[in-house]
Amino acid sequence: MAEFTMELNDEQKEVRDWLHGFAADVIRPAAAEWDEREETPWPVIQEAAKVGIYSLDFYAQQYFDPTGLGIPMAMEELFWGDAGIALSIVGTGLAAVGVLANGTDEQIGTWIPQMYGDADDVKVAAFCSSEPDAGSDVASMRTRAVYDEAKDEWVINGTKTWATNGGIANVHVVVAVVDPELGSKGHASFIIPPNTPGLSQGQKFKKHGIRASHTAEVVLENVRIPGSCLLGGKDKLDERLARARERAKSGGERVKNAAMATFEASRPAVGAMAVGTARAAYEEALEYAKTREQFGRPIIDNQGVAFQLADMRTQIDAARLLVWRASWMAVNGKPFTAAEGSMSKLFASETAKKVTAQAIQILGGNGFTREYPVERMHRDAAIYTIFEGTSEIQRLVIARTLAGMPIR
């Protein structure tokens, strides 16, 4: 087990500085353009692929960092550059992690390379879980997968929503119901290969923030895929469903939902994204306050401004520490007995919203215009209290964990 430390080692610092340079030199100069265009920033993703950031190898190296700080460090730096572009770069990782967590070695080797493509022909992937009537309430999912034993095929019907890269992805990973009586325990994940008939893009959302990240509905109409596209395989699924049915008979439905436990472990990464956005806004506000003069002196000389900056920095550092603690706990197998993953995501996301709003206030009228980036950062920050579990859901998870109640 790696000892907990608040000091990055030399290798981590080198990676951090490399990522920061890419964010400063490539992401930031492109941020305003792609926010206005509301399109996937393919040229930036290609640049990330050329230098090795947009690749499974890079994220695997950070994920297996024994300190647990590789992923949050990477997320903070990329999202410091710009949240929308950064999400376009890391969004494929959601689908890749789904395959890594549930797939066989053959499925991992077959599909993950197709999710990324290469530097000359980059691809993206989409993870499709949420539905119009099933966001936080995953048990209400309606997308259905039915097994056609005669043809060894799965037939999938339903509509997914809020899918990052939905419809433009080379590979889609779709969560569907295989046994409605088991609720959330009756779900399974499937690979939808490129150009599969029946899969189409529905509504593309015009969003308040993170506009450079493509978000859309994914419609599945009698989508037929080979049996080999069930992640983990049919034998493993049948065994899992059988165990779930036995638990349900014996009152096992009160056992903590495994999917919710997985979300709990992944939430620090979202917290790190929020820290990156908050830090970017704070730095803009600090520099502005040091150079903007009113009444013959820099506005940072006024306590009303200086105290805001002090609070902003304190909240950002506290959020980072919560994220780092939860990340270290996750990689070292420490149980989240107080929902520390949700704590980190809750505090960091609320901090990002508050800090970006304060940055606009410090910049005054300039902060309200698109000539300065804090306006965009404030719009982007709104997503952190919504996706990967709303702030209300985080509080519910924390409260139920503290009370010793199951999370469903």
Q: Which residues are identified as catalytic?
A: 388
Instruction: With H, G, I as helix, E, B as strand and everything else as coil, classify residue 192.
Output: strand
Token pair listed for 192: 């939808």
Query: Measured between alpha carbons, how far is 52 from 89 in angstroms, rounded to an integer?
Result: 11
Q: Are 24 and 60 a contacting pair, CB within 8 Å? A: no
Residue ranges in 38-104 assigned as alpha helix (H): 42-51, 56-63, 70-81, 83-90, 92-102
Distance CA 186, CA 170 (A): 27
CB contact at 8 A, 15 and 77: no
DSSP state of 230: B
The whole-angstrom separation of Cα 237 and Cα 188 is 8
Which residue from 354, 253, 274 is spatially nearest to 322, judged by alpha carbons?
274
What are the tokens at 359?
């940055």
How far CA 223 is from CA of 15, 184, 219, in Å, comes to: 42, 22, 9
219: CB partners within 8 A, 6+ apart: 159, 160, 199, 200, 201, 202
Contact 54, 96 (CB under 8 A): no
Q: What CA–CA distance (Å, rounded) separates 386 from 364?
A: 27
DSSP state of 234: H
Q: Are 356 and 278 in contact (CB under 8 A)?
A: yes
* Token representation of residue 167: 């419809």
SS3 call for 122: strand
Phi, psi of 292 (to 5 degrees): -80, 125
**Residues in CB range of 59: below 8 A, 6 or more apart:** 71, 74, 90, 93, 96
Selection from 279, 280, 277, 257 nearest residue 389 by Cα? 257
Question: What is the spatial distance between Cα 18 and Cα 58, in angstroms, rounded to a whole number?
Answer: 12
